[in-house]
């Protein structure tokens, strides 16, 4: 009888095949486009306070910087190892929703029009990218 304490589930043939399918779909042109757009959205979110000019609002500035860096790192991770990180794609739409509501949560009376428009548009793009990233995983299970 095999020793179950040393069995590595990551080496199971079905999981290895599933990861390979996920990685193949992520390397497709549509997968690379979604990953790239998500990465760029994260970078833009991180620098948006300085681009749009609302860097004086400390809470919103720090939030956009940290959230943007986190999104860019998540996008880079999914682009390089989608087979292992596909389970984290659900975080992207949540980051998008948070990006949209942040000006009203963190700076309810002081967020300017530029900050509002920037965060709403960027958040919508992030939601769309997150849903597209999640659908890449679903595409890989339907194609054979």
Measured distance CA(22)–CA(38) in Å, rounded: 18
**Closest by alpha carbon to 99, among 116, 69, 123?**
123
Q: What is the pLDDT of residue 144?
A: 46
Query: Structure pTM?
Result: 0.77
Q: What would the DSSP string read from start to end of 26-95?
A: HTSHHHHHHHHHHHHHHHHHHHHIIIII-TTSHHHHHHHHHHHHHHHHHHHHHHH-HHHHGGGTTHHHHH
Enumerate residue ranges in the chain where pLDDT < 50: 1, 140-144
Measured distance CA(118)–CA(29) in Å, rounded: 28
Q: What is the pLDDT of residue 142?
A: 47
């Amino acid at each position: 009888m095999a020793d179950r304490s040393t069995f590595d589930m990551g080496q199971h043939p079905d999981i290895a095949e599933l990861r390979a399918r996920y990685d193949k779909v992520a390397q497709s042109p549509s997968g690379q486009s979604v990953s790239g757009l998500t990465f760029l959205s994260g970078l833009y979110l991180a620098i948006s306070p300085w681009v749009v000019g609302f860097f004086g609002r400390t809470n919103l500035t720090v939030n956009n910087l940290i959230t943007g860096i986190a999104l860019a790192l998540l996008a880079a991770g999914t682009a390089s190892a989608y087979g292992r990180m596909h389970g984290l794609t659900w975080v992207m739409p949540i980051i998008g929703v948070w990006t949209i509501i942040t000006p009203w949560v963190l700076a309810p009376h002081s967020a300017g029009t530029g900050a509002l428009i920037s965060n709403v548009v960027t958040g919508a793009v992030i939601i769309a990218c997150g849903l597209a990233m999640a659908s890449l995983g679903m595409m890989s299970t339907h194609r054979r």
